[in-house]
Amino acid sequence: MSGPTRQRDERERRQWTGDARAGESESTGADERTDDGDEIDLEDLDEEDLVRTADGELMHEPTGLIVEEDHVDRGPEWRAFNHSERQSKSRVGAPVTETMHDKGLTTTIDWKDKDAYGRSLSSEKRSQMHRLRKWQERIRTKDAGERNLQFALSEIDRMASALGVPRSVREVASVIYRRALKEDLIRGRSIEGVATATLYAACRKEGIPRSLEEISEVSRVERKEIGRTYRYVSQELGLEMKPVDPKQYVPRFSSELDLSEEVKSKANEIIETTAEQGLLSGKSPTGFAAAAIYAASLLCNEKKTQREVADVAQVTEVTIRNRYQEQIEAMGIHG
């Protein structure tokens, strides 16, 4: 195609495009784009008419105008069609976690004395790897603050495993402990005491409550110190803890006592009814839940002794008897 012909075709194409845009603007009344190339103010367009295409572009549906076309593809540059391909092509490690003092970013040397092919190392190489592991552990913590944090987080992980709480609780406890360390709340208190108090606070925050008695059983500090440290940390950090709902204890206690769903439902009903009458105020939630379960087991003909319920809830039989009498009187069961 000759030069003049190409130029004439280009002029005709531009003229046709300009006429079409002008006609479309007149028919729709949309202010698409000025001749200077200025972008349209999005406030002039109805948000309901803006749609996101599969390519990530933002389009004005009535006019077909592309409002946004520059977008960043945040996905990988490779493609995978199954899980094994995705795992083999991925170049990232484990996610960052608050449960490790270095957030899991430090490289660890495997304890297995084997090479990449699974063959055993020679005695000289084993001795070398042993020295490397030793120095690796030493340089992971650069000062006393990191050693403090490393020990505390390992204690939180140990206690959380013993209590059987999910990983989310460990993450929250680790974040609370880091905040306490940053605010210098550890000074004058034992690391174990603050670590246990943060784990107790995390359990309450995540709606998976554990009583102070259960926490103290897996901790190396006494119950009184845990409670005192918890109150101090929660007040200083402004954690704003809500009172524990006794109904949160019902599923766990009932499962340990091998009770039916009917008993659980009845116990929840007793707790709701009596709490509305103000009986829960000032009472221990574990004892209140245990008494409701005991009363529900009697009403549903699945009788459990006060000793059995007390052992599961870690309260005394006297507590269960007192709460039980108050609850059945409030429910009007005596009549």
What is the average pLDDT across 29-54? 62
Residue 58 resides in a domain: no
Domain for residue 101, yes or no?
no
The number of folded domains in the chain is 2
69-73, 96-100, 215-219, 306-310: range with lowest mean pLDDT: 69-73
Q: What is the CATH number of the domain that holds 149?
A: 1.10.472.10
> Between 295 and 113, whose confidence is greater?
295
Which CA distances in Å does 51 have to 69, 75, 100, 181?
12, 21, 43, 48
Q: Are residues 293 and 218 in the same domain?
A: no
Residue 291 sits in the same domain as residue 231: no
Residue 114 forms part of a structural domain: no
- Which candidate, 324, 331, 332, places its Cα nearest to that of 297? 324
> What rounded mean pLDDT belongs to the chain?
82
Per-residue pLDDT tens over the stretch 180-232 = 999 999 988 999 999 999 999 999 999 888 888 889 999 999 999 999 999 99
Residues 287 and 227 in one domain: no
233 shares a domain with 148: yes
149 and 231 in a single domain? The answer is yes
pLDDT over 70, % of the chain = 84
Domain limit, last residue, from 220, 237, 254: 237
The yes-or-no verdict on residue 12 having pLDDT over 60 is: no
Q: What is the pLDDT of residue 290?
A: 92
Q: What's the pLDDT at 174?
A: 94
Is the pLDDT confidence value at 18 over 80?
A: no
* Owner of token pair 């246990």: 196
Q: Does some domain include residue 31?
A: no
**Residue 47 in domain:** no
Q: Domain of 224?
A: 144-237
Residues 263 and 209 in one domain: no
Question: Same structural domain for residues 209 and 252?
Answer: no
**What is the CA angle 15-21-64, rounded to 5?**
135
Q: Are 161 and 232 part of one and the same domain?
A: yes
Q: How far apart are CA 186 and CA 183, in angstroms?
A: 8
> In this model, does residue 238 exceed pLDDT 50?
yes
Q: How far apart are the first and last CA of the chain?
A: 105
Residue 52 within a domain: no
Of 237, 271, 288, the one marking the end of a domain is 237
* 183 and 159 both lie in a single domain: yes
| CA-based nearest residue to 306, from 326, 322, 327 | 322
For residue 152, tell me if it sits in a domain: yes
Higher pLDDT among residues 282 and 217, named by residue: 217
Same domain, 233 and 264: no
**Do 226 and 157 share a structural domain?**
yes
Q: Whole-structure pTM over 0.85, yes or no?
A: no
Is residue 61 assigned to a domain? no
161 and 223 part of one domain:
yes
3-state secondary structure of 58: strand
Q: Which domain-ending residue is among 237, 259, 277?
A: 237
